[in-house]
Structure 1
Amino acid sequence: MRIISIETLKEERRKKTIEEKIPYVINGEMKTVTKKMVNGEMEVLEFSKPIGEMLTTPAGLDSVVQKTVIDLELGREAVPLLYGPIYRRIEDPNFTEYVDIAPFTYAQVVFLEHMELEEVKFGSRKVGPKDTVPIITYAAGLQWTEDMIEYDKTWQISEANRALGEAYNALLNHIHLYPILSYNYPAKNKTAADTTGATLLEKLRNTIKAGLIHASQDKNTDTGAPRRPTVLLAHSSRRWDIEECLQRMQIGGTVYPAISQIDTLIFYDGWSTVVGEKTYEYPGVDPNKAYLIEPQKYFRELVKHDLRIDASGADLTRLIENAIVGRARRGVVASPANSVEELTLPS
């Protein structure tokens, strides 16, 4: 069973050595800088001269932007993406602003006995009700003020860059997981807490089992297939109880096998930050709820382009020496009604 949380993903990264090209744009030209991680430690770039001096030349500005991109990636490493096992990623630079999508396109194929000289049966494709999904532009920016340059506040710039990376990954977790958390589930997608056990672990185990059974009895109207959840999404405060109740247990002299259908646990507590005087908060899973999810089949991550970083130039009227703008264009397709069972957890 794979356990996915901020902590476990960071631990996985600490065991890896990674080298990848990260794109950025400067003066309209697309470039890349190499991101290197050795055993989870990222190589960072340092300025060779005061930042004010570097901004006066094209090569110096390029170095500043490269450092910004690497610092931003360091921030992204601090907030790992949790939704990957749930979504199927579709990346296409030709996506229009509004994507007409049959949210769920099924390849209908069946193998039949082939009799000599008979025609082979070819698969067909069924398209569900048409829907339109917007590709949304998400953007954020940072400014290097004249005071930062005059007093060489390089550390402030680095901290701001990292914060931009953290905010972007937090946004991605939110826009992909919130459709699951915010959906108003009908009775066919809900399982109440089971309170018949003598201990909390028994009650929790019975609730999860009941949810899996209830989900399997719900037949999809398009395919006729039952829901088969393999992912459980919950709040991290319930992690230890959930892990234990899914394992092989002995209750009153009777040995119960592990609940093997669930192969992935995801724990999401949300995220918040303060910008200026305003607090921005992305809600996590309610500690009293959990979600059994059939992944990928009804979830699509649509990416026109991922995060791009561009140096936007100075603004003397506001004493801005330069600015960095990051933006991404993405859409999300999710159908909780066809793929999610909401559980109320016993306490």
Structure 2
Amino acid sequence: MKIVSVDTIKEERRKKTIEENVPYFIDGEMKSVTKKIVNGEMETLEFSKPVGEMLTTPAGLDSIVQKTVMDLELGREAVPLLYAPIYRTVNDPNFTEYVDIAPFTHAQVVFLEHMELEEVKFGSRKIGPKDTVPIITYAAGIQWTEDMIEYDKTWQIAEANRALGEAYNALLNHVHLSPILSYAYTAKNRTAADTTGATMLEKLRNTIKAGLIHASLDKNTDTGTPRRPTMLLAHSSRRWDIEECLQRLQIGGTVYPAISQIDTLIFYDGWSTVVGEKSYNYPGVDPNKAYLIEPQKYFRELVKHDLRIDAGGADITRLIENAIVARARRGVVASPANSVEELTLPS
């Protein structure tokens, strides 16, 4: 069984050696810097001169932006993406502001016996009610003030860069998981806590089994196929009980087989930060809830372009020496009604 959590993803990346090019822009020109991770340790860049001196030359500015990109990537490594197993990713730079969805367009194909000289039956595509999904621009920025330059507060710049990367990955987790967590589930997608067991593990196991059975009895209106969840999304505080109850158990002399239908557990606790005097909170999974998910079929991540980083200009009226602006344009397609069973967990 695969466990997807902040800790397990970080541990997995510690075992890998990764090298990739990360793009950035200066005055409209696209450049790139190489990101290297060796055994989980990411190489970073350091300034060879004071920041104020480097800002005076194109080569110096380029070095500053490269370090900014690397610091930002370091922040992204600190907040792993948890939603990837649930979604299919569609990259298309030609996406319009509103993408027409055929939602949830299904290719309909069946193999039939072919008789000699008979025409082959070609697959068709079923189009559901027309809908659109907005491609949203997400943006954030940091500024290098004159005081940072005068007093060479390089460490402040590095901290701001890293926070930018953390905030972006936290946003992606929120944007993709919140449709599952915030959906108002009706009776056809809900399973109550089963309290018939003698122990907590029995009650939890019985609840998950009841959810899987209930989901399998609900047929999709487009295809007529039942829901078959293979993933479970929950709060990390329930991890150990959930892992144990899904395994082969012996209770009172009776041996219960492992619940093998669930092959992936995802644990999401949310994220929060304070910017200025305003707090931002991305709620995680309620510890008393869990979600059985049939992945990918009804989940799409639409990417017009991923994080794009540009070096801005100075603003002497506000004593800004330079600025970095990061933005991405993305959309999300999700249908919890067709793919998710909400569980109320026993307490």
Q: Normalising TM by the smaller chain, what interval?
A: over 0.9
| 1:227 equivalent in structure 2 | 227
| 2:310 equivalent in structure 1 | 310
| 2:119 equivalent in structure 1 | 119
- What do residues 263-317 of structure 1 show as CA deviations (whole Å, max 9, x unaligned)? 0000000000000111100000000000000000000000000000101110000
Superposed displacement of residue 115, structure 1? 2.0
Superposed displacement of residue 121, structure 1? 1.4
Letter of the structure 1 residue corresponding to residue 121 of structure 2: K
| 1:23 equivalent in structure 2 | 23
In structure 2, C-alpha distance between the alignment counterparts of 1:71 and 1:166, rounded to whole Å: 10
In structure 1, C-alpha distance between the alignment counterparts of 2:91 and 2:134, rounded to whole Å: 14
In structure 1, C-alpha distance between the alignment counterparts of 2:15 and 2:131, rounded to whole Å: 42
| 2:268 equivalent in structure 1 | 268
| 2:94 equivalent in structure 1 | 94
Letter of the structure 1 residue corresponding to residue 265 of structure 2: L
In structure 2, C-alpha distance between the alignment counterparts of 1:252 and 1:105, rounded to whole Å: 49
In structure 2, C-alpha distance between the alignment counterparts of 1:145 and 1:217, rounded to whole Å: 61
In structure 2, C-alpha distance between the alignment counterparts of 1:254 and 1:121, rounded to whole Å: 51
> Do residues 80 (structure 1) and 84 (structure 2) align?
no
In structure 1, C-alpha distance between the alignment counterparts of 2:240 and 2:137, rounded to whole Å: 38
- What do residues 193-227 of structure 1 show as CA deviations (whole Å, max 9, x unaligned)? 00000000000000000000000000000000000
The number of residues matched between the two structures is: 347
Letter of the structure 1 residue corresponding to residue 116 of structure 2: E
Structure 1 residue matching 2:161: 3-state secondary structure = helix
Q: Map of 1:123-272 to 2, 5 A cutoff?
A: 123-272=123-272
In structure 2, C-alpha distance between the alignment counterparts of 1:228 and 1:222, rounded to whole Å: 15
| 1:36 equivalent in structure 2 | 36
In structure 1, C-alpha distance between the alignment counterparts of 2:259 and 2:274, rounded to whole Å: 41
Aligned-residue identity in percent: 89
Return the TM-score normalized by structure 2: 0.99
In structure 2, C-alpha distance between the alignment counterparts of 1:77 and 1:40, rounded to whole Å: 10
> Do residues 320 (structure 1) and 309 (structure 2) align?
no
| 2:106 equivalent in structure 1 | 106
Letter of the structure 2 residue corresponding to residue 114 of structure 1: H
- What do residues 160-183 of structure 1 show as CA deviations (whole Å, max 9, x unaligned)? 000000000000000000000000
Structure 2 residue matching 1:13: 3-state secondary structure = helix
Letter of the structure 2 residue corresponding to residue 63 of structure 1: S
Superposed displacement of residue 11, structure 1? 0.3
In structure 2, C-alpha distance between the alignment counterparts of 1:337 and 1:137, rounded to whole Å: 27
Superposed displacement of residue 133, structure 1? 0.5
| 1:68 equivalent in structure 2 | 68
Letter of the structure 2 residue corresponding to residue 83 of structure 1: Y
In structure 2, C-alpha distance between the alignment counterparts of 1:129 and 1:88, rounded to whole Å: 21
In structure 2, C-alpha distance between the alignment counterparts of 1:289 and 1:190, rounded to whole Å: 11
In structure 2, C-alpha distance between the alignment counterparts of 1:292 and 1:139, rounded to whole Å: 32
Structure 2, unmatched stretches of 5+, are none
In structure 1, C-alpha distance between the alignment counterparts of 2:47 and 2:103, rounded to whole Å: 48
Superposed displacement of residue 116, structure 1? 2.2
Structure 2 residue matching 1:137: 3-state secondary structure = strand
Structure 2 residue matching 1:239: 3-state secondary structure = helix
In structure 2, C-alpha distance between the alignment counterparts of 1:151 and 1:182, rounded to whole Å: 46
> Do residues 277 (structure 1) and 277 (structure 2) align?
yes
Structure 1, unmatched stretches of 5+, are none
In structure 2, C-alpha distance between the alignment counterparts of 1:218 and 1:78, rounded to whole Å: 39
Superposed displacement of residue 109, structure 1? 0.7
In structure 2, C-alpha distance between the alignment counterparts of 1:150 and 1:25, rounded to whole Å: 26
Letter of the structure 2 residue corresponding to residue 271 of structure 1: W
In structure 2, C-alpha distance between the alignment counterparts of 1:112 and 1:119, rounded to whole Å: 11
Structure 2 residue matching 1:306: 3-state secondary structure = strand
| 2:55 equivalent in structure 1 | 55
In structure 1, C-alpha distance between the alignment counterparts of 2:139 and 2:28, rounded to whole Å: 18
- What do residues 41-67 of structure 1 show as CA deviations (whole Å, max 9, x unaligned)? 000000010000000000000000000
Letter of the structure 1 residue corresponding to residue 302 of structure 2: L
- What do residues 72-124 of structure 1 show as CA deviations (whole Å, max 9, x unaligned)? 00000000000000000001000001111112011111111222222221111
Structure 2 residue matching 1:197: 3-state secondary structure = coil
Structure 1 residue matching 2:96: 3-state secondary structure = coil
Q: Which segment is superposed worse, 169-178 or 111-120?
A: 111-120
Return the TM-score normalized by structure 1: 0.99
Superposed displacement of residue 251, structure 1? 1.3
In structure 2, C-alpha distance between the alignment counterparts of 1:255 and 1:112, rounded to whole Å: 43
